[in-house]
Structure 1
Amino acid sequence: MSIPILLVFSLLFVASTASVQDFCVADLSKSDTPSGFPCKDAKKLSVDDFVYSGLGVAGNTTNLIKAAVTPAFTAQFPGVNGLGISMARLDLATGGVIPMHTHPGGSEVLVVIQGTICAGFISSANSVYFKTLYKGDIMVFPQGLLHFQINSGKGPALAFVSFSSPVPGLQITDFALFANDLPTELVVATTFLDAAVVKKLKGVLGGTN
């Protein structure tokens, strides 16, 4: 028997004897790992581990960006652990905005439920794709790319988003630049903004230096 055939049979044997796991509800009492949380004891599971009701309540939009994101990620919904999916609710008051941000861990699909939302993303080639979305419209935001959502209507807007990861991650560009102790001179040097503007934005967003 040739070596390639032996290799095929070996792989088939490994595949046939490997344990197939239907799910891995996160045990949040243990530490997270690069591959997700350890599994909760299957004997202690119930249907409630696979149901989450947190997206039925509107988020609090009385804040600087007039917006609220209510997540159903692993930390809130342990049942999605290891499944490569999660969801969130997006509430935008009139004039609300989700500033430029990225999700390094997953792609996003948004569906508008109420109101009007202008949304878009910027590709790695700096091409811009944006459109005004209405009830029932869906838009995709590829993993890792800068994107935004703005309430462009005259009333509140509501959308639900899904992700290709149970922990998609989040980095908001404005907060990354102006809501920490990164020295003003470094922000000026890397953004070409005037120092006075940087200091003003730091003041608004809670940054120092």
Structure 2
Amino acid sequence: MKSVNFLLAFVLMALASSLASAFDPSPLQDYCVAINDTKTAIFVNGRFCKDPSVATADDFTFSGLNIPLDTNNLVGFNATLVNVDNIPGLNTLGIAIARADFAPGGVSSPHIHPRGTELVLVQKGTFYAGFVDSNNTLFGKTLYPGDVFVIPVGLIHFQVNTGKTDGVLYVSFNSQNPGLIILANSTFGTNPPIDPYALSRAFQLDVNAVKQLQAKFSSTN
């Protein structure tokens, strides 16, 4: 009986450890400004750290989220992600932000952020946003300026500008680098390509239709 209790305790501890490591690790100091120079840095987590005595306010600053982006593309969408790559002071803090611009009818194609929950704030326009859970249930909602929508980490989601004017979303993540997997690109735009026959069976498409999609999306990677 003792061995059973010990095994159960071990499994629970292992599960707790795996859950704790699924997100950005907690910082162990006030800040850890990211630096690429490994000769003068100490690795803590995420990136190497600059000597705190030479950190400046610029390490914690980014300018430009007020600037509209060009949405003249196939999906009518463009975004600026502000993460640890352009604010070194975000390193180990487990947070990032983005501005997303949409033309009328523009779409943020179905995608996944494997390392971050997403919080969407509508700044301008009317949107339909949604995510799909592991039971294939769609949670969708029409959003207006001032509305907030939460997308759990790792779930497929999208946003569509359903209004007749340009739209703007501000998006935050609980990760310094949430990652991005666009489903269409990752399915039909891989290098090398996935076997067209496998995709035709999976999506119930003609093989030639799959090849056409692969030719289209391979140029976007």
TM-score range, shorter chain: 0.7 to 0.9
Distance 1:203 1:29 in 2: 40
Q: Deviations over 1:142-177 (max 9, x none)?
A: 000000001111011001000000000010100011
- Equivalence for 1:102: 112
- The farther-off stretch of 140-149 and 36-45 is 36-45
> Within 5 A, what are the aligned runs for 1:193-204?
193-204=205-216
Q: What is the distance in 2 between the residues matched to 1:150 and 1:116?
A: 8
Describe how 1:89-168 pairs up with structure 2 within 5 A. Answer: 89-168=99-178
Segments ≥4 residues shifted beyond 4 Å: none
Other-structure match for 1:38 = 48
Amino acid at match of 1:205: F
> In the TM superposition, what whole-angstrom CA distance separates every residue of 1:3-51 from its partner, at most 9, and x where no partner exists?
xxxxxxxxxxxxxxxx9510111114459x8930011121221111111
Unaligned runs of 5+ in 2: 1-26
Structure 1 runs not aligned, ≥5 long: 1-18
Matches within 5 A, 1:62-73: 62-73=72-83
| Structure 1 SS opposite 2:48 | coil
Matched position secondary structure for 2:78? strand
For residue 13 of structure 2, what is the aligned residue in structure 1?
Answer: none
How big is the alpha-carbon RMSD for the aligned residues of Structure 1 and Structure 2?
A: 2.0
TM-score, length of structure 2 as denominator length: 0.80
1:51 partnered with 2:61? yes
Q: Is 1:26 the equivalent of 2:34?
A: yes
Report the alpha carbon displacement of residue 136 of structure 1 after superposing the two structures with TM.
Answer: 0.4
Count of residues in Structure 1 that have an aligned counterpart in Structure 2: 188
Which residue type is aligned with residue 31 of structure 2? F
Aligned residue identity for 2:216: V
Q: Aligned residues: percent identity?
A: 40
